Structure 1
Amino acid sequence: MTDNIPPHGGHEVPTATPGDAEPTPQWWEAPTTSDSSGSSSSADPTMVRVPGQFDAYTPPPQPYAPPPQPYTAPQPYAPPQQQFASPQQSYAQPQYPQPTPPPPGPPSYPQAPVYGAGYPGTPPRRSNTGWIVGGIAAFVVVIALIGGLVVAAKKIGGDDSKSWTGDYAMDKVTDSCSLVTPSVLTRWAPTQKELKHTEEQPDSNFGGGSLNCDAKYEGTSINSASLTMDADFASKYGSPHYNIWKDIDTGTSGSGRSSGAMSGLGEQAYFAYREDTSASFNSLDYTIGVLDDNLSLQVEINIYSKTSIDRSAVAAAAEAQARQVMAGLRK
C-alpha cells in the first residue's frame, strides 16, 4: 500500500518525453466512471489532478533585499551652513600691467644706528628739554616785561625814590561831593536829579587814590545841568593824570571849540570848552584842569538850555569849584 501513496507536493511525477505514449494515469487522478449499475468508481475526489497542475514549478523571482544594517542613534538636526561670497570676491579685479622695475642702482649700505632710538616696537622717549627751554624763555620774557614797565614808568615821570605824599591828601574825605557845591547848577536847572560819589583809597606801597562826584539837575522844558569833579593823587610810578586830561581837552579842535592856559591856579592850569548854538537849543561844556604838587584836579560843567547860555558865568562857576576842592584837600 505504500507504493501507491503519492508523494506530497507532486514534485516527483514523471515527465513525459517526446515519442512516449501518454502516461498511464494514476489511481488518484483517474477520471470518474459510471457503470451500468449506477455506481461510480473514481479516484480520491480530493486528489483530482488538474492537467498541468503538477508540472515543474518555478518560483517567481524575489526582489533584492539589502542585508540589515546595524542600528544608529539619530543625530540632532544641524542646518547646513551657507557660504556667502564677500563683495570683494564677487567682483573680479581688473588686471593692469605691472610696471617694469627700474634698473638696479648702486649698492646701498646700512645706516649707522641712531643713539637712543631704541628697539623696533619701543616708543621713543619723550624729552623734557623743550619744556625746560620754553619755561626759561617765558621767564626771561616776563622779567624783560617787568623791567620794561619799570623803565617806562621812570621815563614818564616815575621815580623809585620819589614819595607820593605832598601838599594834598584824601584821608579825611568820606564823601567826595562834600568838596563841591552842587546847588550852583540851580541857576540853569532848579531840580536835583542825581548825586553820587566814589572814593578809591591810596595803596600803602605806592600811593595814588582818587575822588569823584557827579551831580545832575533838571529844569523846565529841555533845560538841564551837570557837574563832574575828579581828583587824582600822585603815585610812586606813572605820570600825573593832569597830563592825560590836558592832551585830550586841548588837543581837539573844531567849530565852537577853544582852550588855553590859566594863571594863578596851582602850578599848571588850563581851560577848554565846546559851545553849540542853534534856533532850538544851546549847549556848553566847560572844563578846568589843575596840577598842583601831588594833586591832579578836573572840574567840568555841562549846560543844556532852550535859551542862550552865559559862557563867562559858567567859567566862573567852574573855577570857583576847583578852588573849593583844592582848599578842602590841602593838608
Structure 2
Amino acid sequence: MTDYRRDEPPTNPFPAAGYAQPPAKPRRTGWIIGGAVALVVVLGIGIAVGVVAGQPAERPPERAAVPGYSMDHVGNACDLVDPAPLQKWSPTPKGPPKHEEVRPSEHDAGSLSCQLRYTGSDTLNTAEILLDVDFTEGTAPSSYASWKRGTLAKTGEGKASGPITGVGTEGFWHSEVFGELVADTRYVLCAVDENVSVRVRLNFSRTREVAQMHRTEVQPIAEAQARKALNGLKGIR
C-alpha cells in the first residue's frame, strides 16, 4: 500500500543562530496585588495618624482652687475681735470670753464663734459683741444666705436694714431698737467673701437717762470688726 501522508520535516532542537526566542514577559499580577496592599496599609496609617493628630491634646487635671480663707491661723476665735470700742460705754468685763473653734472635718467645713460681754457702774448699761464665722466647701450654700434671708425678714417699727459695701464681696446691716425703761439696740452686720461668711452682732442696753446708741456710731464698729476677722482668717495681723 502506498502511504499518502506527507512526511513532516524533523524538528530541530537547536534553533538557528540569530533567531533566539524572546524571553517570556514577567507576570505583573503579583506586583499589582502587592502594591495595592501596600497602598492600603499606607493610607490606613495616614488616616489613623490624622485622626490622632486631629484630636485635642488631653488636658492635665485642673487643680482645685485653694480657699482664700482658713482657720489654720486662729487658735482662739476671740483673737479676731477688738473689744476696745465697746469699753467706751461699758468698761468692765462681764464674765470670761466665750469662744468655740470647730475644725474642718469630712462632715463640717469649720466654724468659729466668740462672745464678749461688758458692763459699767450701772449694771443696766451693758454692751456685747458676738462674732460668728462659718466656712463653706464647694457648691454648698453659705451661711450668709441663710442669715440674710432670716434677718431681713424682720420688718416693722424700730427696724431698719441696708446694704454694706467695702466688706467682703457682699454684705448687709440690720438694726432693731426696742424697750421703754431700758433701750435695747441690736445691730447686725453680715458679709460673705469667697469661702467664708462672717456675722458681727452688737447688743447694747442703755437706760433712758444716758445717751442712746445710734447707727452712725455702731456701724463703723461692726465694719471694723468684720474686716479684722477677715484679715485674721487670711493670716494678716
Given the two structures, how large is their TM-score scaled by the length of structure 1? 0.48
Among 63, 84, 107, which residue is 1:183 paired with?
Answer: 84
Please state which structure has a larger fraction of its residues in strand: 2
Deviation at 1:262, TM superposition (A): 1.3
* 1:256-313, Cα deviation, whole Å (9 max, x unpaired): 00111111221110000101253x2222100100010001000010000112223311
| Shift in Å, 1:316 | 1.1
Q: Which has the larger radius of gyration?
A: 1
Q: Distance in 2 between matches of 1:239 and 1:214?
A: 25
Q: 1:207 to 1:276 in 2, by over 3 A?
A: closer
- Determine which structure has greater relative contact order: mean sequence separation of CA pairs < 8 Å that are 6+ residues apart, divided by chain length: 2
Equivalent residue number for residue 134 of structure 2? 232
- How far 1:206 moved relative to its partner? 6.2
State percent identity of aligned pairs: 31
CA distance in 1, matches of 2:63, 2:114: 29
Q: 1:290 aligned to 2:185?
A: no
CA gap of 1:202–1:185, structure 2 versus 1, over 3 A, is same
For the residue of structure 1 that corresponds to 2:75, the secondary structure is: coil
SS at match of 1:312: helix
Q: Deviations over 1:175-214 (max 9, x none)?
A: 00001112321112110013111100001x4661001000
Give the match's secondary structure for 2:94: strand
Structure 1 counterpart of 2:202, from 277, 291, 301: 301
Relative to structure 1, is the Cα distance of residues 165 and 208 closer, same or farther in structure 2, using a 3 angstrom cutoff? farther
Report the equivalent of 2:101.
199
1:216 to 117, 126, 130: 117
Is the Cα contact below 8 Å between 2:73 and 2:234 reproduced in 1? no
Give 1:264's aligned amino acid: G
- Alpha-carbon contact 2:118-2:128 (below 8 Å) kept: yes
Kindly indicate whether residue 135 of structure 2 is the aligned counterpart of residue 241 of structure 1.
Answer: no
Q: Which runs of 5+ in 1 are unaligned?
A: 1-160
Q: Deviations over 1:19-45 (max 9, x none)?
A: xxxxxxxxxxxxxxxxxxxxxxxxxxx
Match of 2:219 among 303, 315, 326: 315
Structure 2: which amino acid aligns with 1:192? P
Read off the aligned partner of 1:188 and give its amino acid letter.
Answer: W
Give the TM-score of the pair, scaled to structure 2. Answer: 0.67
Q: Match of 2:201, as an amino acid?
A: E
The separation in 1 between residues aligned to 2:132 and 2:152, in whole angstroms, is 17
Name the amino acid aligned to 1:244: S
Deviations 1:209-262 (A, max 9, x none): 001000000112210010000011112463010000011111110110011111
C-alpha displacement of 1:164:
8.0
Q: 2-side partners of 1:235 and 1:283: how far apart?
A: 36
**Which residue does the alignment assign to 1:259?**
161
Q: Deviations over 1:52-77 (max 9, x none)?
A: xxxxxxxxxxxxxxxxxxxxxxxxxx
Counterparts of 1:294 and 1:164 in 2: how far apart (Å)?
Answer: 11
Unpaired runs of 5+ residues, structure 2, are 1-61
